[in-house]
């Protein structure tokens, strides 16, 4: 009997996860990619080195420092990963910050910082990864993390965050259009409310709000960072999604379908 091939198998491939320090969705992405057979490189700010090391040690990943708002740092990261592993096949953009503040209490500096990290950072990583994958000539996959709130705002005041993540969706589509002829697929994952993560940890002190978020979904629960993102992520990061590009895949328990 011929054993069917596994389209989600990433054996022999190298995956870079940007924003992979412990406690975030990037950490879970690194674990999922390693479980699928990829050699993983993880990157984050120098200030998160301890958390990043925890992720790396758990999966035998190479560790790298990066500031996604600095183009020289991003270019050096891509070069370092290729230098360490000899190739690059998959890039997951999970670096991001959130600012929960009413619009009239948000300073211009705060707004611009969120945009620099979430939107400019996604574009810079996509630009440098896209150039490297194009030079390689074998295609590749880029997966950007946005949010369910990218195309519809949420119930809390986060205008800077919502705006930046809406931009990530169109950066993804624009890069997909330009990189498609080179065999590079670029897609978005749009998670709903996953708990607990770095970004949602504060909700633990607000049990009523936490319950409201879960009840608001069609499935009646919050997303589990350890299990619910794995399948959709591996779809977009693997050859299984060879004919998908420029797409936004919602992983939100049905929140966006109401």
Quickly list H helices, the chain.
25-35, 49-59, 71-85, 108-115, 121-136, 159-179, 207-216, 230-237
Q: Are 61 and 83 a contacting pair, CB within 8 Å? A: no
Answer yes or no: 103 catalytic: no
Q: What is the DSSP letter of 137?
A: T
Give the sheet arrangement for strand 14-18, strand by strand: 62-65, 39-44, 14-18, 90-93, 140-145, 184-191, 248-251
User: With 0-12 CB in 10 A as exposed, 13-18 as middle and 19+ as buried, what is 171?
Assistant: buried
| 60-84 CB burial, b ≥16 within 10 A, e <16 | ebbbbbbbbbeeebbbbbbebbbee
Q: Give the closest residue to 143 by CA, choosing from 254, 36, 22.
A: 36
Identified catalytic residue from 103, 149, 161, 162: 161
**Is the backbone of residue 254 left (phi > 0), alpha (psi -120 to 50) or beta?**
left
Q: Catalytic residue numbers?
A: 161
């Amino acid at each position: 009997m011929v054993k069917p091939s596994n389209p989600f198998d990433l054996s022999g491939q190298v995956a870079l996860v940007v924003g992979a320090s412990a406690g975030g969705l990037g950490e879970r992405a690194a674990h999922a990619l390693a479980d699928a057979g990829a050699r993983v490189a993880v990157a984050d700010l120098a200030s998160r080195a301890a958390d990043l090391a925890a992720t790396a040690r758990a999966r035998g990943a190479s560790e790298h420092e990066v500031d996604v708002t600095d183009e020289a740092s991003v270019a050096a990261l891509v070069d370092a990963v290729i230098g360490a592993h000899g190739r690059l096949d998959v890039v997951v953009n999970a670096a991001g910050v959130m600012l929960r503040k009413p619009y009239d209490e948000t300073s211009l500096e705060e707004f611009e910082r969120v945009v620099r990290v979430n939107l400019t950072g996604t574009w810079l990583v996509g630009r440098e990864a896209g150039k490297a994958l194009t030079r390689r000539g074998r295609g590749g996959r880029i997966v950007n993390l946005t949010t369910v709130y990218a195309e519809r705002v949420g119930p809390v005041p986060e205008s800077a965050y919502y705006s930046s993540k809406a931009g990530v969706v169109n950066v993804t589509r624009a890069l997909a259009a330009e990189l498609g002829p080179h065999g590079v697929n670029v897609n978005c994952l749009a998670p709903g409310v996953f708990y607990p993560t770095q970004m949602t940890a504060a909700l633990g002190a607000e049990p009523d709000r936490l319950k409201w978020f879960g009840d608001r979904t069609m499935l009646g629960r919050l997303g589990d960072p350890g299990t619910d993102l794995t399948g959709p992520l591996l779809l977009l990061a693997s050859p299984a999604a060879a004919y998908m590009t420029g797409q936004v895949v919602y992983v939100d328990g049905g929140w966006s379908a109401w």
